[in-house]
Every structure is written in structure tokens, then in C-alpha cells.
């Protein structure tokens, strides 16, 4: 009877180890997928950040050109006022 019980417990132990190993493998696969998803999201954020940076630089350049044009116009008005034209 003891031999049969020992074999039963050994078989049960092997089954439990197998279930534990497969559950661990599934968890690792899920973690791997989450990491890959996170990497993809990080790359998208980085790309969008670069695009936003470029847009800001373009807006700054446009604003600088607009301000330069306005300053030129004001300078011409002052020149005309001083010269009496």
C-alpha cells in the first residue's frame, strides 16, 4: 500500500510541476508580448515627439519672419516720419 501511495504522490508531483512550468511559460509569453507592445508605444511617442519638435521649430521660424517683417514696416514708418514723407 505504501508503494502505491508513493507512486501516486510522485505522479501527482510530476503533474503539478508540469502545470506550474506551463503556467510559468504562459506568463513569460504574456510578459514578452507586453514588453513588445510597450516598445512599440515608446517608438511611436518618440516619433511623434520628433514631429512636434519639428512643427515647433517651423512655427518659431514663421513667427520670427513675421516679426522681422513687422519690424521692417515699423522702421520704414519711423524713417518716413523723420524724413517727412
pLDDT tens digits along 58-71? 888 787 787 787 78
Per-residue pLDDT tens over the stretch 2-29: 777 888 888 888 888 877 877 777 778 8
Q: Which residue has the cell 508513493?
A: 6
Q: Give the phi and the psi of residue 84 in degrees, each rounded to 5.
A: 85, 25
The reported pLDDT for the residue numbered 34 is: 83
Predicted confidence at residue 62, as pLDDT, reads: 81
pTM of the complete model beyond 0.85: no
The sign of the dihedral angle between the CA atoms of 71, 76, 77, 83 is positive
- The three grid cell numbers given for residue 14, joined into one nine-digit string: 510530476
Amino acid at each position: 500500500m505504501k508503494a502505491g501511495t508513493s507512486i501516486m504522490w510522485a505522479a501527482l508531483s510530476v503533474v503539478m510541476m508540469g502545470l506550474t512550468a506551463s503556467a510559468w511559460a504562459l506568463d513569460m509569453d504574456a510578459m514578452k508580448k507586453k514588453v513588445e507592445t510597450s516598445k512599440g508605444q515608446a517608438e511611436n511617442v518618440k516619433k511623434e515627439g520628433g514631429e512636434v519638435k519639428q512643427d515647433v521649430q517651423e512655427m518659431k521660424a514663421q513667427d520670427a519672419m513675421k516679426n522681422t517683417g513687422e519690424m521692417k514696416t515699423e522702421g520704414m514708418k519711423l524713417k518716413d516720419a523723420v524724413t517727412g514723407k
